[in-house]
Chain A
């Protein structure tokens, strides 16, 4: 960019600390971004896993009316199977329901006489626009009439809370990335001002000889670009190592609710953009700082 380097910028101290600061900032920004992206993907997966399904819960019968229970279940199933839009309604086996409870009570601790509700897993038709949309309110009322106490859960509340949480975390992560960008810009401002002070004598001579502010600014911005790019790539490298390590550790864990630690190309693209963004911020900040400072010279 600059044809000549009249300023001995490589001799001042900024070259030593600026890349490390930028590396640290890019590292933190990478982690924040990776966290947000992975959480977004996880919540999208949960959402798609839960859309198109509903659950009906028939409360456990009172011991004195246990005999009626299979009839109630059959009646509920009958209603469900005759509702347009429902592809399939399957009661969960007793063992599956026990397996769902076990994480809370401990394996083998579920007492035999514990009143266990009957859960019916409902699969809806894939295409919600096919004119077979379900009026969940009407269906719930109908089910309540057939079997009092029956609850129809379309997971909407859970999904909306989940989405709200993941959106909040995404917003916080975005704010963190932006704050890191602002901090990086502030660091470059101070480094550039230090450089301007250190090289004040040389800058004055160049100024008096007739150098334009842009000519001097260009030398600072090329320097800032090179230092920020170096630091940014270092930060990206460290973040990649950290994420690979996390992905390795998380991969050994099988948990249905854990976000999957998959490093998608989309995520890598976003991460790779961070050092470039840091370099761009550094270049522009250095330029603006120098031009504004020099504009105060006579």
Chain B
């Protein structure tokens, strides 16, 4: 799925912000990425969504070496990656609906199916009444949910999220985490960068820990195996409307036939 070999990254002539990063994300895996501020989390995510070239080392994604791949194939790879940016990066001049529809339209989805899919997903994240609203009028929590909807609408093979629960309350945070888990269950590889230790503890996924540009992997395999069936969070989640958390979002995002994610 995604493999880093001895990857280093420096900006300009500055010091290396990432050093000797070796990493292999198996298809369908779920990882947290954590570390103190300035440890290089965002830089690592940027490398993962092909927003930067590494200064050294090799990155291969979906079994293709990024250094040698034909430039024309990169957009196709990027379409298979969903990204939730820390500062959302919504397009202020587009409505909520058009923001979320962007990946589908860029991939050439038929307009007839786009609106329906987007409206369903937005109503699932609680923004059904905000389809035609523009981002500047939304609260940070709402913006975050729009950003997440945009990242998952194309049913990506790899989902990268930078502090995706940072601006929402616990209930919304858990709804979002469950959405990510459901995507993960149908095969999406997920990496979530977060500072939130509580969130990491709640779920039993391995943790990638960055410290001063070096990556350590804490596999935590089986550590909370039972927690996945009955996590602390599920109590909260159930209190907050479990029906919503189950079937809905995937039904719609798995009808991703509108998007040919594998095309280049």
Q: Which of the candidate stretches A72-80, A93-101, A206-214 sits at the interface with the other chain? A: A206-214
Q: Are B71 and A210 within 8 A (Cβ)?
A: no
Report the bound CA distance from A116 to B231 in whole Å: 122
Q: Does B50 contact A (CB under 8 A)?
A: yes
Q: Would you call A208 and B78 a contact (CB within 8 A)?
A: yes
* The residue from A3, A6, A209 contacting B79, defined by CB atoms under 8 A apart: A209
Q: Are A209 and B93 in contact, with the CB atoms below 8 A? A: no
Given known contacts A295-B71, A298-B51, A298-B53, is B102 in contact with A209 (CB within 8 Å)? yes
Considering the complex, which residues of chain A in the window 252-290 have a beta carbon less than 8 Å from any beta carbon of chain B? none
| Closest chain A CB from B81 CB (angstroms) | 8
> A211 near B75 (CB under 8 angstroms)?
yes
Report whether B78 and A209 are in contact in the complex, using a CB–CB cutoff of 8 Å.
Answer: yes
Tell me whether B106 is interfacial, beta carbon within 8 Å.
yes
Which residues of the partner chain B approach A210 to less than 8 Å between Cβ atoms? Answer: 75-79, 81, 103, 106-107
CB pair A201 B105 closer than 8 Å = no
The majority secondary structure among interface residues of chain B is mixed
A115 contacts across to B, CB distance below 8 A: none
- B219 in the interface, Cβ–Cβ < 8 Å? no
Smallest CB–CB gap between B1 and chain A, Å?
17
Beyond A6-B91, A8-B93, A202-B91, whether A209 also contacts B106 by CB under 8 A is yes
Interface string of B38-75 (1 = CB under 8 A from A): 00000000000111110000000000000000011001
Bound CA–CA A4/B105 (angstroms): 8
The answer, yes or no, to whether B24 is at the interface (CB within 8 Å) is no
Residue B217 at the chain A interface, CB threshold 8 Å = no
Task: Flag B173-211 by CB within 8 Å of A: 1 or 0 each.
Answer: 000000000000000000000000000000000000000
Q: Is A205 an interface residue (CB 8 A)?
A: yes
Would you give the shortest CB distance from B160 to chain A, in whole angstroms?
A: 10
Instruction: Say whether B89 faces chain A, with CB atoms less than 8 Å apart.
Output: yes
Question: Whole-angstrom distance between the alpha carbons of A202 and B81 in the complex?
Answer: 18
With A8-B93, A208-B78, A210-B78 as known contacts, state yes or no: A215 contacts B53, CB within 8 Å.
Answer: no
For residue B48, give the distance in angstroms from its CB to the closest CB of chain A: 11
Give CA–CA (A57, B199) in the complex, Å.
111
**Interface status of A65 (Cβ within 8 A of chain B):** no
A sample of 17 cross-chain residue pairs with beta-carbon separation below 8 angstroms, ordered by A number, consists of: A6-B105, A8-B93, A204-B89, A205-B91, A208-B50, A208-B51, A208-B78, A209-B78, A209-B79, A209-B83, A209-B103, A210-B75, A210-B77, A210-B78, A210-B81, A298-B50, A298-B53
